[in-house]
Structure 1
């Protein structure tokens, strides 16, 4: 599937769900350089001679407006849902995928109903959450390249499979990678256990049909385990060029 630039996909005054789908499509360029970034020796799958680089995805249409304000490990901000621990390890694709310490990792995702904080009151999201900041946060990786967030299991919204946004910066604040995390699907998975909360799964778009993940998501697919009582645990390792 051809990657499209997010900014070009948005039409002034557009309010239809089809615009939201276009707005979430892949970007072809790395956020920090404006050019495709896939490691030392690249292939169409994004594989380098040392390791596999996380693909670049769009930040929008609901990126954190002031990410530096949200240095915290617990990002729930009172949002209800099944507890989920998000464990992310960042590695350096330019250094044989060794752990990348002191990187800044931003994450954000929708709540159980499919809504984002900091946005709303428009055709893209009717519920107005412009004055709150739930399910957004950033942390610095430790010597093992790891960060851990306390959150809730994300819901879903029209046109997208369940996902988490990730933006990685180096210690100087330079953007290294904007990407997204996909969730396993099928019987017995955490996604099937949560079953879309009260919303259910009618009309849900699978990873294979999602306009961000449909051209391949193997390097973005997390492992997710757990249950409704004890909560869920998500684990993923993402390689970025640093």
Structure 2
């Protein structure tokens, strides 16, 4: 997998990346400038509260929670080795954030290492909305924490912690709606004519409400890759939703639409395992992933922190990221669903098999 030699080189190829038929390159460039301004504003807000006693206390509680979760997951999977992992990150420069390792399971760490040392990083991201939600958003997904549904792959427990970007306080009772492809690049909820899992499939999709610590956590699998995209998973954050009796939700105000990524070393290690290595879709590098390029700013680290539960990657990962939210935002107009899932099954959105606006058929 190849990293960027420089940010300038990455930006230089953006017109090539985005120049699909029907796409407005200039509009996307304008949106990127707007996003960068939002990043800067959010970063300034966070810098004013991130060292407060409340923020420090939250960080300490988060470290303790993550350490406890690792112990729980290891016990559940019968892992008895003392070392968390001996994997070390060895990358060529990918620019700013990719120069920083997000692998917290250094070979110098054991289960006796102080929890704050391993799990203390909040890796706070001033996330702002994507220019597109992507072609595979499905409404009506179940409120649940385990979204694996028997899919094969590297187990991943991922913790999303939401904080108010103006106060650095945790945000309870907001809803995180997540989805990603399986190990071989297939999405659930989308018609099989598109090569996906089918309208009535629901694997690797789910919704969780954040708790009093602002945490929404999922038991999932490490995502695979699909055509023209680097490894990632999708996230929509909603508030003021209406809960339904069938454990789903409707309505609400959209606070955030985004994507979360994983560093090269981890992706490369996972892609070498089964069933990821049976994926016949060509792997896409950073240079040709237009949406990741769009997020290349000096203020935004899009990568999760993580630890391996043992030396064996098949035993799984604990991953975490802290998402800074602007509670005054409303990005509901950014949502374009490919399908709606009802108690009677999935229904594709009319006008496009992927639910995409006709003027932007290649968004992903």
Q: TM-score, normalised by structure 1?
A: 0.75
Q: Please name the residue that 2:134 is paired with.
A: 60
TM-fit CA distance, 1:86: 1.0
Give the CA deviation at 1:43: 5.8
Of Structure 1 and Structure 2, which has the larger fraction of its residues in helix? Answer: 2
Contact 2:187 2:197 in 1 (8 A): no
**8 Å contact 2:226–2:281 — kept in the other structure?**
no
| Whole-angstrom distance in 2 between the partners of 1:104 and 1:26 | 30
Deviation digits for residues 171-219 of structure 1, max 9, x if unmatched? Answer: 442110000001111xxx3212112612369842233541111131633
**How far apart, in 2, do the equivalents of 1:44 and 1:237 lie?**
15
Deviations 1:149-192 (A, max 9, x none): 0011110001000001000012442110000001111xxx3212
Q: Which runs of 4+ in 1 moved over 4 A?
A: 42-46
Select 1:220's aligned residue among 294, 297, 302.
302
2:177 matched to which residue of 1? 106
The alpha carbon displacement at 1:65 in A equals 2.8
| Structure number having the greater strand percentage | 1
Distance in 1, matches of 2:157 and 2:197, equals 27
Matching residue within 268, 279, 286 for 1:207? 286
Shift in alpha-carbon separation, 1:100–1:200, aligned structure 2, 3 A: same
List alignment gaps of at least 5 residues for structure 2. 1-10, 47-124, 242-251, 328-364
Query: Larger C-alpha radius of gyration, 1 or 2?
Result: 2
Aligned residue number for residue 229 of structure 1? 314
Q: How many corresponding residue pairs?
A: 210
RMSD of aligned residue pairs (Cα, Å): 3.1
Residues 219, 180 of structure 1: CA spacing in aligned structure 2 closer, same or farther, 3 A cutoff? same
The answer to which of 219-228 and 150-159 deviates more is 219-228
Gaps of 5+ in 1: 12-18, 30-35
* TM-score normalised over the length of structure 2: 0.51
